[in-house]
Amino acid sequence: MVTTRPLTLRSYTSSAMENVFWQAVHVMGNGIRTSGYTDQPAAPQIWAFRGARGAASSAGGGTNFQGLCFRPAYTRSVSATVRGVMNGFEQGRVAARRDWAPGLITLTVDAAIEPFNPGQFVNLGLELGGQFVRRSYSIASAPGAPLEFYLKEVPAGALTPQLTRLEPGASVWVERKPQGFFTLAYVPPCRELWLVATGTGLGPFLAMLRSAEIWQRFERVSVVHGARSVAHLSYAEELAALGAKHTGRLSYTQLVSAGSPGSALPGRVTTAFADGSLEARAGLTLDPERSHLLLCGNPDMILEVTAVLALRGLRKHRIRTPGHITSEKYW
């Protein structure tokens, strides 16, 4: 039996030190070895190990071991011995999939993970060509509901071409401990909350909108979803129904940047904030005294919207210097 405890080193940046650990230190103890990291790090971690050799290796025996191991969030080789100790991951099963458009899906996954707050994410992983490939995904479901992920294929990506092809019954590794600070707990008191997403950045907002807290804390909520085409406006029916349920408190604004926008606003969220058309459509005006914005998805959108809103007196929220904008970049 091997148990591990992750101590996340979020501020870790030294690549020289990383290489030393990377090449030399993986697991302290006999019988388990990982090697061949081949990808970029997402969230380097130090792992504390405690366990018994034999439970994890096929060699048997009962030698106890413990120690620390630097474990960058890399793709890693998956040997038969390591497979049994996919540390921190639970083997889940795809329970259902919904296809919104080619390459754009929602997966429902059966996996026993730890409790989470709406807005948090977990890593999903697959064994691909002898490597364990994992990436972060926001949980789109409310706590207690079947675990749901809103996913887009990045055609040249390492994971999503396979992840978005999983069918019901397929195995997928799910990180047991949800992570992240993109939650309502970090939003300062205010009256009006804007949830601004591009693409699958809608995921964490779905989890929030499907939970009770948002309706207890904010007088008004404005959901904004920017997508390339009408076909990419997933969850439109559910969001429209929520709007009807919370009439006068929830507005749902769609933007479509290419092709016919239908009833959506044309263009990007940046231009629609800049020219006032977004606030007009939402029926709500941004005000530094009342508003907080959560931005999620495309990193350029986050930078550009932040710059546009600075002209309106809204600035990034930090614990030491409270502001109005909190964001989660997807890449």
Ligand X SMILES: NC(=O)c1ccc[n+]([C@@H]2O[C@H](COP(=O)([O-])OP(=O)(O)OC[C@H]3O[C@@H](n4cnc5c(N)ncnc54)[C@H](OP(=O)(O)O)[C@@H]3O)[C@@H](O)[C@H]2O)c1
Q: Which does 288 bind (CB under 5 to 8 A by kind): ligand X, ligand FAD, none?
A: none
Q: How does DSSP classify residue 22?
A: H
Q: Which does 331 bind (CB under 5 to 8 A by kind): ligand FAD, ligand X, none?
A: ligand FAD
Sketch the per residue contact string, 266 through 305, with ligand X: x for CB under 6 A, - otherwise: --xxx--------------------------xx-xx--x-
Residue 261 touches which of ligand FAD, ligand X, none (Cβ within 5-8 Å per kind): none
How much of the chain is helix, strand and coil, in % rounded to 5? 20, 35, 45
Distances (CA, A) of 320 to 187, 317, 323: 13, 9, 9
For the four alpha carbons of 215, 310, 42 and 229, in that order, the dihedral sign comes to positive
Which CB sits closer to ligand X, 41 or 299? 299
Strand partners, 149: 107
E strand or H helix that includes residue 281: helix 277-282
Spatial contact of 107 and 157, defined as CB atoms under 8 Å apart: no
**x/- letters, 222..241, toward ligand X (CB under 6 A):** ----xxx---x---------
Q: Which stretch binds ligand FAD (CB under 6 A): 59-67, 205-213, 257-265, 323-331?
A: 323-331
Tell me the three state secondary structure of residue 225: strand
Instruction: Report the alpha-carbon distance of residue 141 to residue 47 in Å, rounded.
Output: 29
| Shortest distance in whole angstroms from residue 137 CB to ligand FAD | 4
What part of residues 179-198 is at the interface with ligand FAD (CB under 6 A)? Answer: 180
151 interacts with, out of ligand X, ligand FAD, none, CB within 5 to 8 A per kind: ligand FAD
Q: Which two tokens stand for residue 5?
A: 């405890």
User: Applying CB under 6 A, does 330 fall inside the site for ligand FAD?
Assistant: yes
- Candidates 47, 54, 1, 53; CA nearest to 29 is 53
Helix, strand, or coil (residue 152) = strand
CB 53, CB 29: distance < 8 Å = yes
Q: Which does 172 bind (CB under 5 to 8 A by kind): ligand X, ligand FAD, none?
A: none
- Single-letter amino acid, residue 296: C
- Residue 8 touching ligand FAD (CB under 6 A): no
Cα 324 to chain centroid distance, Å, stands at 21
Q: CB under 5 to 8 A by kind: which of ligand X, ligand FAD, none does 257 bind? A: ligand X
Binding mask 157-176 for ligand FAD (x = CB under 6 A): xxxx----------------
**In this chain, which of 88, 119, 199, 203 binds ligand X, going by CB under 6 A?**
199
* 139 Cα distance to chain centroid: 6
Give the Cβ contact number of residue 265 at 10 Å: 21
Residue range at the interface with ligand X (CB under 6 A); choices 60-68, 87-95, 127-135, 221-229: 221-229
Q: Kindly state the tokens that stand for 285.
A: 């005006």
Structure tokens that stand for 248 in this block: 């006068």
Min separation Cβ 143 and ligand FAD, Å: 16
- The SS3 assignment for 254 reads strand
Only segment of 11-19, 129-137, 300-308, 310-318 that touches ligand FAD (CB under 6 A) = 129-137
User: By C-beta, is 9 or 303 nearer to ligand X?
Assistant: 303
Query: Looking at beta carbons, which residue is closest to ligand FAD?
Result: 157
Q: Which residues bind ligand X (CB under 6 A)?
A: 101, 103-104, 152-153, 198-199, 226-228, 232, 257-258, 268-270, 297-298, 300-301, 304
Q: Which residues bind ligand FAD (CB under 6 A)?
A: 121, 135-138, 149-152, 154, 156-160, 180, 200, 203, 328, 330-331
